[in-house]
Amino acid sequence: LQTVCAEFSDVGFPVSYSGPDRLLGWCKPNALARAIANLCANGVKFAGTVTVALTATDTVARITVGDDGPGIPMTARARVFEPFFKEDASRGIASKHGFGLGLSIVADIVQGHGGRIELQDNQPNGLVVTIDLPNGPSAQPS
């Protein structure tokens, strides 16, 4: 997670990380890095700043990616994980970039790890994506 955030910061995007330097657990590191990179890319496209945080218990690793952009309307949240769905118009942005695959890829990666993903409003504005992944000896991605 730190590497993904550093790569965005190194090219001038305001992406920050908070959390432990290391977390031992079973995962597909390249897939998980891609999921977080997709979320950060969406964040810097629609917001000013992006924050990535990691917390863990004995059973769950929680990753949150928050931004201060316009967010995603509640009515579109169920559909944003569908392939090729783009909600740019509701954000007031006429985007010709992307194919609407980023969040569906994120959802597939999270599900492949046996996890869950949730979208919430950030305060005072923006979006927070919360990913909960199983953590512990029995947690192995498929």
In angstroms, rounded to a whole number, what is the distance separating the alpha carbons of residues 99 and 112?
22
Residues 6+ apart with CB under 8 A from 63: 1, 36, 52, 53, 54, 130, 131, 133
Residue 42 lies in domain: 2-134
How many domains are there within the chain? 1
pLDDT, one tens digit per residue, over 80-100 is 888 777 665 444 444 555 556
pLDDT, one tens digit per residue, over 86-136 is 665 444 444 555 556 678 899 999 999 999 999 999 999 999 999 999 986
The CATH number of whichever domain residue 119 belongs to comes to: 3.30.565.10
- The pLDDT value recorded for residue 91 is 46
What is the band of 31 on the pLDDT scale with cuts at 50, 70, 90? very high
- The pLDDT value recorded for residue 22 is 86
Cβ-count burial of 36 within 10 angstroms (0-12 exposed, 13-18 middle, 19+ buried)?
buried
